[in-house]
Amino acid sequence: MQKVEIRGVPRTGSRKSGARQLRAGGKIPAVIYGKTDTQSITIDLKEFEGILRTHGHGAFLLEMKLEGSAQVERLVLLKEVQRDPITSRVLHIDFLQISMDQLIQVKVPVHLEGTPIGVKEGGLLDVLSREVEIECKAAEIPEDIKYDISEAAIGHSVHVSDLVPPQGVEILTPDNRVIATVISKVLEAEAAAAEEAAPEEAGEGEGEGEEKKEEEDASEESKAGS
């Protein structure tokens, strides 16, 4: 499990205007949730984004170093990152304070290794789930869960039940969840063609219905005239 150092500064007050000023200065408001208390802090935006770029592909723990705090260092887990829905800019961060022997639940990536036989034969690898939820002690969190998919032929699917987690790690995601499947290019093309044709056929059906109704109305008027 990766441990990454990050710096934080304790802060007081929670006014929106204060949060805006922090963001304007390149800082992000954040909260550390502990077992008995919470602490408001600020994080440097560039430092945080750099950590995400370098380590965001897997699970990792953070060693939070707080300036001027009696408890200088805290072990935390990234709980939630709130972003602006339009710009994706980081607005607020939630951290969860943990201990190395604490049992926690966290999501980790699934890393598929190798090239499936089905892909070599002309198929396509369709990845449906890129992560699973696990439960284990903080000290035993794996960076990812690996699966060798090289033997997968066209039509073969990998389920959560096929994954083998490291010792001490329990996968909480349902066993029947599909991780990936190898599909035929022909079947994919047929499915795409069917989706494109469906609206057109529906439209034709509507037109035929209207035409039939007009013929029935004309027939009724003819009978009434006679």
Q: How many other CB atoms sit within 10 Å of the CB of residue 179? A: 23
pLDDT, residue 37, reads 84
Cβ burial, residue 59 (10 Å; 0-12/13-18/19+): buried
pLDDT, residue 203, reads 52
Domain that holds residue 90: 2-98
pLDDT, residue 220, reads 53
Q: 78 by DSSP, 3-state: which?
A: strand
Given a contact cutoff of 8 angstroms between Cβ atoms, the answer to whether 177 and 131 are in contact is: no
pLDDT < 70: residue spans in the chain? 1, 13-17, 56-58, 69-72, 186-195, 197-226
Does some domain include residue 190?
no
Does some domain include residue 205?
no
pLDDT, residue 16, reads 59
Considering the domain architecture, whether residues 136 and 176 belong to the same structural domain is answered as yes
What is the token pair recorded at 142? 């794996």
pLDDT, residue 218, reads 52
Distance CA 151, CA 135 (A): 29
Distance CA 33, CA 40 (A): 9
Side chain identity at residue 147, one-letter code? Y
Q: Which of 180, 175, 178 is nearest to 164 (CA)?
A: 175
Does some domain include residue 224?
no
**CATH number reported for the structural domain that contains residue 27 in this entry:** 2.40.240.10
The region, left, alpha or beta by phi > 0 then psi within -120 to 50, assigned to residue 68 is: left
**CATH number reported for the structural domain that contains residue 128 in this entry:** 2.170.120.20
Considering the domain architecture, whether residues 7 and 85 belong to the same structural domain is answered as yes
pLDDT, residue 69, reads 55
Kindly report the pTM of this predicted structure: 0.69
Considering the domain architecture, whether residues 51 and 128 belong to the same structural domain is answered as no
